[in-house]
């Protein structure tokens, strides 16, 4: 069984640019969540997708957007990058149904904004 995978592993962008991060959920999982983890902090919830629809959003501005595809993989898009967007971005998938609570995390994408 393949776990949650994310790409790329590292990324460097400049302020004002746009970035797309990708996540493949664990086999059989239909729910994907995205988190931002700043250095030395705990992860902060960005949003969640369930069966291709946004199903909850944290306190992040609209320039953070996402998609979920029919195979349940997902993208996180960030427009107009700011220096404070530098962080580790974590994707987590969960099975849905009766076991929505356990989230399985990918290794993350480390984004540096210069």
Partner 1 sequence: GDSVTQMEGPVTLSEEAFLTINCTYTATGYPSLFWYVQYPGEGLQLLLKATKADDKGSNKGFEATYRKETTSFHLEKGSVQVSDSAVYFCALRGTGGGNKLTFGTGTQLKVEL
Smallest distance from the beta carbon of 79 to partner 1, in angstroms? 23
> Considering only CA atoms, which of 7, 37, 38, 3 is closest in space to residue 20?
7
Number of Cβ within 10 Å of residue 37's Cβ equals: 15
Rounded to the nearest whole angstrom, what is the least distance from the CB of residue 3 to partner 1 in the complex?
9
Shortest Å, Cβ 16 to partner 1: 28
Q: Which of positions 48-107 make contact with partner 1 (CB under 8 A)?
A: 48, 55-56, 58, 90, 92, 94, 100-107
Number of residues that bind partner 1 (CB under 8 A): 27
Q: Which stretch binds partner 1 (CB under 8 A): 11-19, 34-42, 61-69, 71-79?
A: 34-42
Buried b (16+ CB within 10 A) or exposed e, 54-72: eeeeeebeeebbbebeeeb
Asked if 21 interacts with partner 1 (CB under 8 A), we say no
Instruction: Closer to partner 1 by CB, 50 or 75: give it.
Output: 50
Residue 102: is it exposed, middle or buried by C-beta count within 10 angstroms (0-12/13-18/19+)?
A: exposed
């Amino acid at each position: 069984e393949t776990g949650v995978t994310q790409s790329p592993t590292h990324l460097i962008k400049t302020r004002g640019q746009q970035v797309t991060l990708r996540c493949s959920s664990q086999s059989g999982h239909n729910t994907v969540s995205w988190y931002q983890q700043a250095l030395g902090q705990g992860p902060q919830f960005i949003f969640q997708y369930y069966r291709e629809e946004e199903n909850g959003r944290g306190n992040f501005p609209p320039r953070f957007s996402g998609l979920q595809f029919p195979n349940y993989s997902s993208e996180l898009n960030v427009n107009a990058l700011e220096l404070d967007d530098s962080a580790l971005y974590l994707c987590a998938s969960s099975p849905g149904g009766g076991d929505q609570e356990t989230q399985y995390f990918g290794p993350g994408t480390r984004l540096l904004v210069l």
